[in-house]
Structure 1
């Protein structure tokens, strides 16, 4: 990977790690549904403009049904899960939970796509789950003051991402990636629009929340998608997906630097265990063991 591509990879990780910070700053003002609609609505307009300029809209007409379903699995559901959890769960914790995506993807691919699941990859999944338990154990209470339900809902987000990845592999193989990104975000925005209008807050929304919502839409969704797909085109998907290992580090950093979230031993240990599990589950370590 060239220095230019490496800089782009770290920039992408910093942007995606910052998305959890922006969620924490905005979601309590907007509410989960309205916040998600703001995020994907603005992103849809941005991506539609980019797709039109690049001449990528034709694929939307041909494949709109599977692209819309991809939007439900890859955008609407996981974005809502993380937004709901962000009302109480620290940004750094959410970023680490997001690192479970490759594990869920590998597990679902084993049963749905009949992909081979080696023992090192299976061990990685077990280690990753153990890391999440270490990370959230102190907050895993299901009483009125606990974050147990919010954490479980957050864990559902990487499950949906993994399911979406397998769905895309099965039903959208060979379809232009920019068209998939644009169509899935647009379909999700249209789907959630009525509910967002219904749940729009009556109280005034702070300037910080507005700026955060716009930033997560344009920077963390629209621009990040373009960087992501350009990296795939330049260095391939296997190298680009290593951004998964960097996002939690930036998520923890932004949460501590901006929101003064505590860097406890359990947070650092849990994050390290999750990253080790992710390395095994994605086959990065397994390839060297076999």
Structure 2
């Protein structure tokens, strides 16, 4: 093995550890959001969490921000806008469903990433991807469709959040190898915070948390889940593809369900657990063989 190959393997492993740590942190975010939303509104919460994250990151990496170039500013603006859009759906969705169920539904981003890549590359999916999608959709039905056979609003919002977050993962995979990850990560947090502040003044009444529990939740969201989590993701995606990133992200619902069970005593029904298991199985079927191509070229018709 050459020195270059060894360095690449080390970089990939380091990226995996960074993404896994971010995923564990994000697993706790649903509980923090539930607690924070008890005293403030959704857009207000988004503005505070990303505002706090930007302030902390700005203090730590202020020297890098002094020499930021226009390309990094533009990339950070695009990523920050996509991140804000995803969290509008996530925050409204979490308010209207359970923390554990939200975690599983938002993990559908892992399925949406290869589906969107299929559209971008104009290639048909292979059998593994097709089977994985079918299994995941079957699990989604068991998890979300109750006796009245309809999706609740919170479930639908979380699914939309997964789609928008998949777009964010693909954009991050495009921009992060081209720019300094710490600078890019800090700028995207600032842009997401700016969008949150504007939306709060337009559609809500700005306010601060009024209980110690709510403050603890907002600080946890800002410093850990947004600040540390998205800086880690930005660092990781310099050496990991969107598909590999989404595979590790698929573990988030397990941590979300574990945190919800430990701290809130949340349980799924037997049907829900079966659906969650099928969703994870679909994710693993889709992504586990990373060394094989996920897409095959469309065959040309014979002349």
CA distance in 2, matches of 1:183, 1:250: 28
The reply to whether residue 87 of structure 1 matches residue 91 of structure 2 is no
Q: 1:125 aligns with which of 124, 127, 133?
A: 133
The reply to whether residue 72 of structure 1 matches residue 76 of structure 2 is no
Maintained 8 Å contact 1:8/1:231: yes
1:192 paired residue number:
196
CA distance in 1, matches of 2:173, 2:123: 12
Maintained 8 Å contact 2:113/2:169: yes
Maintained 8 Å contact 2:132/2:285: yes
1:214 paired residue number:
219
Maintained 8 Å contact 1:12/1:243: no
CA distance in 1, matches of 2:279, 2:106: 10
Structure 2's unaligned 5+ residue stretches are 1-8, 297-303
Normalising by the residue count of structure 2, what TM-score does the alignment of the two structures yield?
0.80
**Matched position secondary structure for 2:267:** coil
Q: 2:41 aligns with which of 23, 26, 31?
A: 31
Q: Which has the larger radius of gyration?
A: 2
The reply to whether residue 156 of structure 1 matches residue 160 of structure 2 is yes
Maintained 8 Å contact 1:25/1:209: yes
Structure 1's unaligned 5+ residue stretches are none
Q: Which stretch of the first structure deviates more once superposed, 40-49 or 174-183?
A: 174-183
The reply to whether residue 44 of structure 1 matches residue 54 of structure 2 is yes
2:6 paired residue number:
none
Normalising by the residue count of structure 1, what TM-score does the alignment of the two structures yield?
0.83
Shift of 1:204: 6.7
Shift of 1:150: 1.8
Q: Which stretch of the first structure deviates more once superposed, 28-37 or 125-134?
A: 125-134
Judged with a 3 Å threshold, the aligned counterparts in structure 2 of structure 1 residues 247 and 161 are, in CA distance, closer, same or farther, namely same
Q: 1:273 aligns with which of 263, 266, 278?
A: 278
CA RMSD of aligned residues (A): 3.2
CA distance in 1, matches of 2:177, 2:230: 18
CA distance in 1, matches of 2:288, 2:186: 30
Shift of 1:239: 5.8
Shift of 1:226: 3.6
CA distance in 1, matches of 2:60, 2:123: 34
Shift of 1:274: 1.0
Question: 1:234-273, aligned counterparts within 5 Å?
Answer: 236-237=240-241, 241-273=246-278
CA distance in 1, matches of 2:139, 2:122: 27
Question: 1:167-206, aligned counterparts within 5 Å?
Answer: 167-169=171-173, 174-198=178-202, 199-200=204-205, 205-206=210-211
